[in-house]
Amino acid sequence: MSKNILVTGGAGYVGAELVPKLLNEGHKVTVLDTFWYSDESLFKSSENLKLIKGDIRDKEIITSSLVDITDVFHLACISNDPSFDLDPELGKSINYDCFEYIVSEAKRMGVSRFIYASSSSVYGVKETPNVTEDLSLEPLTDYSKYKALCETILNKYKSDNFTVVSVRPATVCGPSRRQRLDVVVNILTNHAINNGKIKIFGGEQKRPNIHIEDMCQAYIQLLNAEASIINGEIFNAGGENLPVMKIAQLVSEVTGVKTLDILPTDDIRSYHISSEKIFNAIGFKAQKSVKDAIVDLKSSFDNNLLKDSLSDPKYFNVKFVKDSLL
Ligand SMILES: NC(=O)c1ccc[n+]([C@@H]2O[C@H](COP(=O)([O-])OP(=O)(O)OC[C@H]3O[C@@H](n4cnc5c(N)ncnc54)[C@H](O)[C@@H]3O)[C@@H](O)[C@H]2O)c1
């Protein structure tokens, strides 16, 4: 059945790939985004696609964006720790302060499903080898703390007519129409191809990753899942959990770059998220590997799609926020 979907942050790294997939599935899509990292030419125009350049903190824009909407993906965010920390007040205003209004207004205006992009960083560092959704949250940063607090707010609004679900994604990797090159697999691949060396901080830490196509597929399955199975639930969504050194070796294999620079790091966070719950509930299982993401990204570089990939701030959220928003 065709839905009328609002994607906040739809012009971001994940949203820019999710939106065309939703359109392909026959849905109508409204993107509400400030378009920080790209402009409206990101998308092929379509009568089923509406683009709203606006800020999720603007209550009037939220209300007008929600007219006739059936489902919401809420992705808009200052989306990593370092860019959040540059201006914690700005980060809080976008990632937390406006959240309850968006949820309550969505419910009031008859939206039936609200899917929230949280983060697997809400767990902090866990000793246990398999991090499942029922474990306590020990967020180490404000970015993660507010992600966790939003999950709680969202669940307050759960009802039979308003299905709510939070997703805790692993770090996303691979190519997108709006490329991020500040996430681990993409950083290592960019440096190997364009700098001739692979720089690793630490190496033993395990980091969960998910290919961007699998990420979009998980969201689509949540959109289509029976409400009673997912309402009020929280799901991890990850693909492979590999030590950073193993990712570097895969980058070396795919790119042919042999120079590995190993540097010490204070960031020894190491964790492995379990994605069994989402598989058992809705049958989602990641299909693509970290190596696939490296191969796919290499092809974007080979096709010259990522110009100035070591210097253009649009690829690096922290540089963009620092240069353009502060
Ligand atoms: N990419 C990952 O590895 C990852 C991992 C876990 C969770 N997530 C979450 O998934 C979501 C999407 O991540 P992403 O990688 O696509 O991030 P992104 O930074 O590429 O996209 C965020 C989008 O939100 C928009 N935006 C920011 N503030 C806004 C505002 N005030 N009003 C309207 N639009 C605004 C930006 O312009 C951007 O297009 C985020 O909520 C992020 O926290 C991402």
How many Cα atoms occupy the beta-carbon half-sphere of 175 within 13 Å?
16
pLDDT above 80 for 271? no
pLDDT mean across residues, the chain: 94
Structure tokens at 74: 């809420």
Total domains in the chain come to: 1
For ligand 1, atom 41, the nearest C-alpha belongs to 75
pLDDT above 70 for 268? no
Query: Which pLDDT value is given to residue 125?
Result: 80
**Residue recorded with tokens 């939220």:** 62
For ligand 1, atom 18, the nearest C-alpha belongs to 12
- How many angstroms does the Cα of residue 14 sit away from the middle of ligand 1? 7
Range of the domain at 203: 4-325
Closest Cα partner for 239 from 202, 201, 279, 269?
279
Q: How far is CA 108 from the centre of its chain?
A: 26
Cα 22 to Cα 283: distance, rounded to the nearest angstrom:
19
pLDDT above 80 for 219? yes
Q: 1: which residues sit within 8 A by CB, 6+ positions away?
A: none
Cα 53 to Cα 40: distance, rounded to the nearest angstrom:
8
Q: Which of 7, 8, 13 to mutate to test the pocket of ligand 1 (most atoms within 8 A of CB)?
A: 13
Query: Which pLDDT value is given to residue 195?
Result: 93
SS3 189: helix
Query: Which pLDDT value is given to residue 201?
Result: 84
- Residues 236, 273: contact at Cβ < 8 Å? yes
For ligand 1, atom 43, the nearest C-alpha belongs to 79
Find the Cα–Cα–Cα–Cα dihedral 107, 283, 3, 167, rounded to 10°. 40
- How many angstroms does the Cα of residue 260 sit away from the middle of ligand 1? 31
Q: 256: which residues sit within 8 A by CB, 6+ positions away?
A: none
- How many angstroms does the Cα of residue 33 sit away from the middle of ligand 1? 10
- How many angstroms does the Cα of residue 224 sit away from the middle of ligand 1? 22
Radius of gyration of the chain (CA): 19
**C-beta atoms surrounding 98 within 10 Å:** 18
What predicted TM-score, i.e. pTM, was given to this entire model?
A: 0.97
Q: For residue 117, give the CATH number of its domain.
A: 3.40.50.720
Q: Which atom of ligand 1 is nearest to the CA of 183?
A: 3
Q: Which residues line ligand 1 (CB under 6 A)?
A: 9, 11-15, 33-37, 55-57, 75-77, 79, 94, 117, 119, 169, 171-172, 178, 180, 183, 317
pLDDT above 90 for 112? yes
Query: Which pLDDT value is given to residue 117?
Result: 98
